[in-house]
Structure 1
Amino acid sequence: MTDAPYPVTFAGTGDEDLDGFTFDPVNPDVVTVTPVKNKTGGSDSVTLTLSGLVGVDDELLDAIAVRANYQGRDARLWKMMLDPETLAPIGAVWPYFTGYMSVPKIVGDRASQTVQMTVETYLAFFGQASNRTYLDQADFDPGDKSAELSIAIANGASKRS
């Protein structure tokens, strides 16, 4: 989608995410994007907010019901300058934010409902600890000694027969 006042089609940019696609205009009252805040170590996450009214936005609500449609997929934001009088494009289009989509949140009620999608940058995705562990595997499989052995190896223990 685009915030230009008309549909935009790209060709010859060399970007497979742009070339051959038409981006339809959206009403900025219905779709918002939080500002991109760049800092040392990468950008903050960006939140996309879209209208999510039942009966009006059923296509979007059906699409987010299928995780494969969004989770872990790329989301990219581009900029393009338009002539203020003619609205003709000036220069090239350039990407200014790329990240991974996460799980959307549906906020509100049937009268005023929105869908919020957080987009994490690549650095944020790789930089944060997952807090996952396999050290409790014995809780699920009492015969599994992998956690015990891993800790022993990390502490320099060795077993000799």
Structure 2
Amino acid sequence: MAKALPGFEDFNRRVRPPFGSRLKQPAREPVLLTPSGRAEFSAAEPPDVPSADDGVLVLQTMRSHDQWNTAIYSDDDRYRGVKNLRTPILMNAEDTRARGIGESALVDIESTSEDGTRRRLRGYRALRYDLPRGSAAGYMPEMNVLIGAADYSAQSDQPLMKNVRVRVVPSAQG
């Protein structure tokens, strides 16, 4: 390792003290490799927000408390007070009322991918949550089906997991 990786010179001797040694980590050092030598920020234009009148919500997918990446360790989410449920959609209370959706009612969720395909989830639980009007949230990977291969950010080339336009209606399942 000493021959191949910068920072590992004389490694075997340096790791012997009781607390080991510290490797250099550029993110931790107060040196910024920018033309000015200081932090430089830029702002991206925010995405278009749908009008509340057209019935579309902007859905973000997220992880629950007991989840690491896509490994799910329990169906509880103590961050948001959700117990024994992996299929909620968190919505603003006014948005649920405007759609005739009661608390904990079953709903169907539909998105339309940039490639024109319609994608659906059926029988999710609508939970009222303190979110801005016009937005919603739910867990990944369960909601990933709403995101098509064509749905990615032109700026970052990443899937639009925080900007999925959906329609939520009372479920046909009752």
TM-score above 0.5: no
Q: TM-score range by the shorter chain?
A: under 0.3
More strand by share: 1
Higher relative CO (Cα under 8 Å, sequence separation at least 6) belongs to 2
TM-score with structure 2 setting the length:
0.23
More helix by share: 1
